[in-house]
Chains A and B, each alone.
Chain A
Amino acid sequence: MKKVTNVVVAGLGGQGVVKASDILADAAFRAGMDVKKSEIHGMSQRGGSVASDVRFGERVNSPMITRGEADCLLVIAPDQVDVNRHVLKSDGVLVSPDTVANIGKIQAKTVNVALLGVLSTHLDIPVPLWEEAIRANLAEKHHKLNIEAFQRGREAARSTQA
């Protein structure tokens, strides 16, 4: 079967988990791939666990990622890493909030997008498409800060990978 990339985005309600997975799915969509994205979002209240599955490739069937099938796990809340680790493949990539802990000041609101910057260095989606997806999914007044956060995330990833 053709390869499908599986990414789980996790965190707590109010941290922009769904927004981050929307941006990721949109970027993959813009890259011309088949995409499925799925999460359970019910409650309005802030603070509960949220996880969103994004799958893309030539052809995607199920919208859900099962245990041990994620190529990447992006976690926004430190205390949600352990809760979600079981989804990762044994050689899967964990993008934890620590990755962007030392990149200088970015607004708390944009941590999700900074982590997408880190994630982007592990995926085959061209940067301009990421930026288009960020613009398409956020109000104009937030564009500048988020594009910046995304780039900071990329730099942070490169400096640790180098």
Chain B
Amino acid sequence: MTRTLHERMLLSGNEAVALAALRSGVLLGTGYPGTPSTEILEAFAALGGKAQWAPNEKVALEVGLGAAFGGARALVTMKHVGVNVAADVLFTATYTGVSGGLVLISADDPGMASSQNEQDNRNYARAAGVIMLEPADSQQAYDFTGAGFALSEKFGLPVMLRMTTRVCHSKSIVTQSPLPQPQATPNFKRDVPGRVMIPAHARPAHRRLREKLARAAAYAENCPQTIIEKGSKALGVITSGVVIAHAKEVAPDASFFQLGLSYPLPLNAIKEFVASVDRCVVVEEGDPILETELRAAGLNIEAKPEAFRFGELNADRVRRILEHDNSPEAALAAGKPPMLCEGCSHRPVFETLNKLGCIVSGDIGCYTLGVLPPFSAMDSCVCMGASIGVGLGLRHVLPPEQAKRVVSVIGDSTFIHSGLTGLAEMVYNPPPNGHVLMILDNGTTAMTGQQEHPGTGRDLLHHPTGHVRFEEVIHAMGIRHVVTIDPMADAVALENAIIEALDSGQLAVIVARKPCILAAPKIRVYERAAAEKMMATE
């Protein structure tokens, strides 16, 4: 599977991160799928790196942190909302610090091409105290990933590399240069005060963190990621990430300050830059973070109007910001929205839920499209795993005739990701009239491009591994009414199974199992390969 590598390559930002991780001696890559980050681990594996899908982002970051405690370099990938799940780890990992380089990729999605929110994870760098790098294109994705591992080791801190959809999925030219190599091989060194965060250890650890960040700020003042390009004195632009490319498009003669290392800020260099130009504009995608911090530092800068906080920036929007053009922006052309595929096994489930007039507490995956006509069978969708908790909350408070119609619907990958704790809640705090959970097991993480997960029993490269069997888990957790059904086989049987579960007034779980029609041919190939391998070794 290893591909030949050329010096000059046309790569996506995601591929560039994977290549740099490999060339930086990363021993373990882990993460949970999420657009636009998913291809990083897949590319890392295709290049021959050791990569694995974790059940969710929190576990992924824990595994990565353990590897880094052990002195290895580790890469952890996730989309922006994944960092919310992993945040509990992150906020104390900055206290413990790391021995081996730990780079966490946060792939943000300004404009929400495929996300439920457009949170700006530059906020996490400030909140958790983690060094942040923000590449603008694939070359920088490569260079900064390499630098990220070295910086993580230099300062003993995790480094967060913030990508955005445009950086992840755009292709541009990468010239490979040698990257800094790990200084040590994995070896356990006991460091109880440094690694065991009881309050007595955590108090000095917090002080250590602030000292490390002060050193990192001093480093940022004059480092390869602080990129200052002197142009005209008339206009200076301060920015980070892909925005620099848009800005150069519309103001080629301006002076530019790209914050490649965007936290902690190189405040002195910024002050000098601001003083060197007649007019200085902070152009940032997302929240007004740099604007607020530079103003707080007493700098005389301009910034974008609130309207540009929403959505992605592009060359035209950057021009509007620079020229104070407040004329209304043309609405984005409405394309054709995505739909559940013809033959999708989620279809009959939502047809039935609609027919039965259920109140559907939904979740995230392809099946969220059950909200659209002709199904129109979803009443809430918040974050991964929320279907169960939200459904239970509704059941607890709604009048009985409504409560009895509430169904939680969750996908297989999502159930593993964050449904298991919801199920524990269901068993522990059952609503008066029970509850019905449907797990739509289509044998893959379809939404993000068909990744494996613990419920498929295959690893990232589709080879057989340990298998978490849903029915066994559900039984073991204390649910008595468990039904498995093929939703494509018989519409009447599906409807009856749901009615029976609703009418039982007990806790019930229905596993609707039928492979995603796009994944099914591949799943058959993996299964055949596994069977052949079994036969050969017997």
Contacts and interface: CB of A to CB of B under 8 A. Distances in A.
Interface string A123-156: 0000000000000000000000000000000000
Chain A contact residues (Cβ within 8 angstroms of B): what range? Answer: 35 or more
A44 B315 contact: no
A71 interface: no
A45 B338 contact: yes
Contact of B336 (A37, A39, A80): A80
Contacts of A36: 137, 170-172, 245
B335 A86 contact: no
B424 to A, nearest CB: 30
Interface residues of B, number: 43
Contact of B339 (A45, A64, A79, A80): A45
Contacts of A25: 10, 171
B337 A34 contact: no
A44 to B, nearest CB: 5
Contacts of A66: 314-316
Nearest to B448: A44
Interface in A26-57: 26, 29, 34-49, 51
B336 A79 contact: yes
Contacts of B339: 45-48
Contacts, number: 114
Interface stretch (B246-254, B292-300, B490-498): B246-254
A106 to B, nearest CB: 23
A61 B245 contact: yes
Interface string B371-405: 00000000000000000000000000000000000
Contacts of B172: 34-37, 60, 63
Given A34-B173, A36-B137, A63-B137, A12 B366 contact: no
Q: Which 3 A-B pairs have the closest CB atoms?
A: A49-B335, A42-B114, A48-B338
Interface of A: 1, 12-13, 22, 25-26, 29, 34-49, 51, 60-64, 66-67, 79-80, 83-84, 86
Given A40-B165, A63-B172, A67-B316, 11 more contacts: A36-B170, A36-B171, A37-B10, A40-B111, A41-B35, A42-B35, A44-B450, A45-B339, A47-B338, A62-B245, A62-B248
